[in-house]
Structure 1
């Protein structure tokens, strides 16, 4: 628990929470788009769900806080396909319209629930899905959900899991992203995605990243700070992605949104229905950075 508190404190000092919240809204928004597209293909069922959403009282009328666990994995074709490289919990407070975000280092050692051995926390999702290596079939997350609940004392209401292949496809669908590096990045343990004979090396300054390069960027952690370095890189990518999404929302390019949905349709798992997604998105889309 002390490690978690220290990690959260460090994250706040570097002020990445607005970027993480942007990623939450991006994920919720893309899931919402997928439901809307599903509605086009299933008009009868969609009409019933939409009517219920209009007529029924809010699913959150009790104003009890809601906790959403977000997990990011490498996905099919990658080594450690179901290891959670990204783990963060969003605590949504409806009364205060505030959000608390807790990031968990993937290398945190924990005791496996109902077992005697210790494992890194990022292995729990994989252990819950021993009988498959396919991401879309890996629908069990009880071990990591239970462990996060035990660490925080919070009940997790919803879980959203996404893989890096889908993330890369979203970057490509947006036409790539631009990032700025304060100093050179060199990771001898990774290779250039476009030339596997070269190590991954980015000079200081501005860079354009396509999906494959963006995935490499957020996975690198060859630095003394290790996992914290990886998290910092993820925040840089999220900020750049948020910028592209903001540009897209200004012109509301429906074809691009549809292209994005096609990119992620087999790359995320969520236990939220349309009504829940719609309410969460609208309740918190205007939350300011000082409320996070």
Structure 2
């Protein structure tokens, strides 16, 4: 299309572009009876930087303050239980900084859990973040939610069920199983994880006053799902737009005329927009007084094995990285193959060699894995 940078979706042989899109929408709905409830897609890096690191990392401890965190507050850092917080403290003492000569690797997970749902939802958005050993650069690599992997002690399934499956074994089970799965399939060693739901995302974006995003092409999605069983049409003009939390969530969720790979790129665009907003307006000192109220809103919205001290150190390290040193990538159709399982599930089989190369290029360009 002239003057439009919208991706040119491949059409099914013998079918028009519109018919192809309709078929794909139907296939997507068939994959989940509750298709309208899937709030997939989050600006995870930004949420981790603020909601994950600021909201709990700065509770009772402003940046650079020598005062120790309030133990009473620390008991809620992993979903609201003192036992979980104590487990995180024992599992990961000290600051979240790379060991000498080693990068620090985080797994950021976005849940499809709805507000008020007490269960652990599927992780429909997954990003790997690696902080270089010298602390001067960071890589962000998105994994597709339909990636077909071998789950230890379980068998092959989509990667987006791993965290929920592991969580059935306890509060830390989701993170543990994700670690084992990524290690077994790709040789990745995960140091820490952060798991959030979309309420966290919306709250964070609104708390910082919204974000500025350059929308590459006009979006007109009449089938954008609401939180029940209907539609909430979403439209957004091309060009520079200022988005509040709810609109930003729609921007990273919409699948209209695109696939999960393009959505992952929008997620990363929003991540950088959140980071830019915080740094450009020097918002960390402004956010600190809001932490108690923010924490009350977000306490049920995420899980992590980071301690408050580790989170504080991490956010301070990330905010000092030059944007030119931020590498982003997506495990897309160049590194995966579409496959339909005998049970009828549409999945993406990873080309292990290509995925491994992406991991090295984006996450570990200096010294490999």
Residue 167 of structure 1 corresponds to 201
Q: Kindly indicate which of the two structures has a greater share of residues assigned to helix.
A: 1
Mapped partners of 1:231, 1:171: distance in 2:
18
Residue 154 of structure 1 corresponds to 188
Mapped partners of 1:150, 1:44: distance in 2:
33
Question: Does structure 2 conserve the Cα–Cα contact (< 8 Å) formed by 1:164 and 1:215?
Answer: yes
Structure 1, unpaired ranges of 5+: 1-18, 46-55
Mapped partners of 1:66, 1:202: distance in 2:
37
Residue 232 of structure 1 corresponds to 265
Return the match for 1:89 from 119, 125, 128: 128
Residue 151 of structure 2 corresponds to 112
Question: Does structure 2 conserve the Cα–Cα contact (< 8 Å) formed by 1:178 and 1:206?
Answer: yes
Residue 76 of structure 1 corresponds to 114
SS at the partner of 2:209? Answer: coil
Shift of residue 32, structure 1, vs aligned partner: 1.4
Mapped partners of 1:166, 1:251: distance in 2:
17
CA-to-partner distance for each residue in 1:107-157, whole Å, 9 max, x for gaps?
Answer: 2112332233x322112112223589xxxx686333322112223313212
Shift of residue 166, structure 1, vs aligned partner: 1.2
Structure 2, unpaired ranges of 5+: 1-42, 63-67, 76-92, 327-369
Mapped partners of 1:78, 1:207: distance in 2:
31
- Ranked by relative contact order (alpha carbons within 8 Å, sequence separation 6 or more), the top structure is 2
Mapped partners of 2:220, 2:260: distance in 1:
15
For the pair shown, the structure with the greater C-alpha radius of gyration is 2
C-alpha distance 81-42 of structure 1, shift in aligned 2 (>3 A): closer
C-alpha distance 184-244 of structure 1, shift in aligned 2 (>3 A): same
Residue 36 of structure 1 corresponds to 61
C-alpha distance 251-223 of structure 1, shift in aligned 2 (>3 A): same
Mapped partners of 1:81, 1:61: distance in 2:
30
Q: How does 1:1-292 map to 2 (within 5 A)?
A: 24-26=48-50, 27-34=52-59, 36=61, 39=69, 42=72, 62-63=99-100, 64-77=102-115, 82-95=121-134, 97-116=136-155, 118-130=156-168, 140-191=174-225, 198-224=232-258, 226-249=259-282, 252-253=285-286, 254-292=288-326
Shift of residue 171, structure 1, vs aligned partner: 2.0
Question: Does structure 2 conserve the Cα–Cα contact (< 8 Å) formed by 1:170 and 1:263?
Answer: no
Q: Count matched residues.
A: 256
Shift of residue 208, structure 1, vs aligned partner: 3.9
Residue 49 of structure 1 corresponds to none
Mapped partners of 1:271, 1:36: distance in 2:
18
- What TM-score results when the alignment is normalised by the length of structure 1? 0.71
Residue 3 of structure 1 corresponds to none
